[in-house]
Structure formats: C-alpha cells, structure tokens
C-alpha cells in the first residue's frame, strides 16, 4: 500500500481474506495457463503440456486442488 493512501481506505491488517476471493469457482473455464500459474511454475511448453494433461484428467477441479 502506498503511504499516501488514506488510512480509512486501507483494509485492516488483521482481517482475513473472504473465502470467495481465495477459491476459484469450479465449473468455469480454466486454461492451462491458469493451472500453471496457480502451481507457481513458469509458463513454458513443458508446464503447459503438464497442465493440459491434468485438466483433461481432472477438469476445472484441478485448479481447486492447487489453491488454498
């Protein structure tokens, strides 16, 4: 956060992030790139191939398994 931002507009530090912001919605389109990035890897041909196989086997739920 910028120090010039008013304190009133900053979220409290002790507030938990709501679940709806932490979890992907299953049933939505998930691209191989989404899966690679969620896994913390760089997007490259090898990781895209891995993601395509994982999505083919598990569908969009594959993304849910990687996110908290």
The 3-state secondary structure of 23-48 reads: CCCCCCCCCHHHHHHHCCCCCCHHHH
Q: What is the pLDDT along the chain (68 residues), one digit of tens a residue?
A: 455 556 556 555 667 666 666 655 555 688 999 999 999 999 999 999 999 999 999 988 898 888 86
Number of H helices, E strands in the chain: 4, 0
**Displacement of CA 24 from its chain's centroid (Å):** 7
Structure tokens at 52: 């395509």
The phi-psi region of residue 40 (left if phi > 0; otherwise alpha if psi is between -120 and 50; otherwise beta) is: left
């Amino acid at each position: 956060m910028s120090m010039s931002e008013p304190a009133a507009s900053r979220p409290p530090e002790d507030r938990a992030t709501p679940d709806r912001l932490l979890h992907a919605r299953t049933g939505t389109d998930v691209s191989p790139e989404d899966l690679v990035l969620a896994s913390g890897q760089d997007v490259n041909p090898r990781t895209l191939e891995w993601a395509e196989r994982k999505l083919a086997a598990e569908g969009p739920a594959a993304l849910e398994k990687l996110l908290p």
